[in-house]
Each structure stands twice: as structure tokens, then as C-alpha cells.
Homo-oligomer: A and B are copies of this chain.
């Protein structure tokens, strides 16, 4: 009685999720795969899984209870709408969609359906360090959050990575986790470029400082650096009225030798967030078995799209760029308790 899952998109991330769903997690089996490249789908398909010619056919198959979307971004809207039309829970990798209009269509469809079906792949929310940090914030031990500092450093980026991707692809993780940690929405964005790093070989506007202005007034101060060389360094610290709470360093053997007292840094996001990815799907499976979804929602995907758009505008204008959201449907929970009076 395992959950029967169909996977759309069997590229690198799709293959990794297939591995996760077959080798790591319990209560689930992959019964269907689809990819724009049929041969690749065939190779990625686990034993007994059917290879479908189209996403639509996979989504509608009686042998598929729930869907995992790992296709490229522009294809997501149609696939998500088909899942909702079929009433099937769906996990969708980032970006949920690639435009505000698409995001609103997905929200409207889900609201019309009347129950959450969509979970978007913001895996940081499933990381135990972030979860502890959120519990500390919500406990009130540091008082009302006033500033959140997010640091996002990659050792390096692939050669096709361009400056806009700092804001379009990288920033969205910091933006989503900030919204979640602070239980608040982003209402405006500013972007500042410090002196450019000459390291990394590509002509990137790197690093970048982004200020996210939250509805309740807190400011999120983000540093993104994508060619820091030394590792994958993710930090987060909230300054509250009466205290400060920070993500810890990752556990690593403390070595004392001629290089000092030292701990290794994670090499990349795979190493850093491997358990978060597992947990993300563990919780998705549990909800999907109930025919619904929890975790990051279509609303969060919508907010992410708006933030990336505003950040790109702010990078061009050098000014504060406002974000205006539609009214939040009740399906996605009440307006946040911490909103400004």
C-alpha cells in the first residue's frame, strides 16, 4: 500500500529524487516516469515503473497517486494545473513557475479545488538547524525579530551562471526562508553591489547585498557570494529586541594542528542539505497519502516569483522596488500574526 509516484523530468535532480524515493525513503514506490527525452526517462526508470510519453498521460494514470515535477521551469505551470485538475498531490521543484501570472493561475486553480495539493521544493524549511532557529524565534526568547541576516556563499558556480541568477535563482532560498522564519511577507527590495570579486573566472556582479523589507518592518540583510572558493557557507542570524539567535556551524571534527583549531566547511549544497531533501520528501509522502500537501505552498512559490522580479528591477534601478501581492486566500493560512499594527 505504498504511495504510487510518477516523476516528470529525469535530469540530474529528477534522478536524485528517484534515488531518494527508491533507496532511502519508505512507504513509496515509483510507478511512472516521463521526460522530454524518452531514452533518458527509460534509463532513469526504476524496475516496474512505466515510461509515459507525455506528462499529461502520467498525471492521469490510475497507477499514479502523486506526482514529482522536475522538468524545466517554463513547463511547470501546465503540469501543475493538470495535477490540480486530476486532484493529485504534487511536489514541484523550484521555480514553481516563471511569471507572476502563472503563479496566480496555479493559486486560483488550487483554491478552486479547495484543498492544498502543491508543495514547492524549498528544502531549507526541512533542515533541522533552520527548524530549531524558527522554534527559538517563535518561542519569543529573543523578542520580536527586527533584523535577519542571511549569508549565502557558494564555492563556485557553473560556467552558464550569469549575474541575474544571483537574484533569480540564489536569492529565492534566502527570501523564502526569511518569510518563513519571520512569519511575514516581503514588501520591498533593495540591491547593492560592493566591489566585485576578481576570483571565479567569470564576469559576475558578485558579491551582492540585498535588503528585503518585511511587512512588519523587519529588514532582511542578505549577502550573496557565488565564488568564495572555500566551500558552501550558509548562515542566518536574527536580531530581536532582547537577543540574537543564529544557525550553528555544521558539526565537523575539531582538529588542532599546525593550521590552528579548525573545522571543515561543507563543500556544496548537496553535502549541506542532504538530510533536508530527505525530510522534505518524507513529509510530502505523509501528506500525499492523505491526498493533500503541507510545507511550502503555491503561495510561497508566488511570493518567490515576486521577490525575484523585484530584485531584478532593484538591481537595475538602484532603488527600493515595491512588492504588491494579491489578497491571501484562506487556503494558505491566516495573515501572519506579527504583521505591523
A residues near B, CB below 8 A?
A: 22-28, 128-129, 132-133, 135-136, 141-147, 149, 192, 194-199, 207, 209, 211, 214, 216-219, 221, 223, 225, 227-231, 233, 239, 241-265, 275, 340
* Contact status A146-B207, CB under 8 Å: yes
Closest 9 CB pairs of A and B: A195-B217, A262-B262, A243-B257, A194-B219, A260-B262, A26-B26, A244-B256, A248-B251, A246-B254
Listed A/B pairs (11) with beta-carbon separation below 8 Å:
A26-B28, A142-B257, A146-B194, A147-B207, A149-B149, A192-B211, A195-B216, A229-B257, A229-B258, A245-B254, A249-B251
Q: How far is the CA of A263 from the CA of B254 in the complex (A)?
A: 11
* Contact status A230-B211, CB under 8 Å: no
* Contact status A258-B241, CB under 8 Å: no
In the complex, residue of chain B having the shortest beta-carbon distance to the beta carbon of A256: B244
> With A25-B26, A146-B207, A211-B192 in contact, do A199 and B256 touch (Cβ < 8 Å)?
no
Q: How far is the CA of A239 from the CA of B149 in the complex (A)?
A: 14
Task: Give the residues in chain B near A230, CB-CB below 8 Å.
Answer: 242-243, 256-258
Specify which of B209, B242, B340 is in contact with A199 (CB 8 Å cutoff).
B242
Interface centre among A25, A242, A248, A251 (most CB of B within 10 A): A242
* Tally of this chain's copies: 4
* Contact status B199-A251, CB under 8 Å: no
* Contact status A256-B265, CB under 8 Å: yes
Q: How far is the CA of A245 from the CA of B27 in the complex (A)?
A: 40
Q: How far is the CA of A255 from the CA of B265 in the complex (A)?
A: 12
Q: How far is the CA of A249 from the CA of B129 in the complex (A)?
A: 13
> With A257-B142, A257-B243 in contact, do A147 and B25 touch (Cβ < 8 Å)?
no
In the complex, residue of chain B having the shortest beta-carbon distance to the beta carbon of A190: B192
* Contact status A252-B248, CB under 8 Å: yes
* Contact status B229-A219, CB under 8 Å: no
Task: Give the residues in chain B near A229, CB-CB below 8 Å.
Answer: 241-243, 257-258
In the complex, residue of chain B having the shortest beta-carbon distance to the beta carbon of A237: B254
Q: How far is the CA of A219 from the CA of B224 in the complex (A)?
A: 13
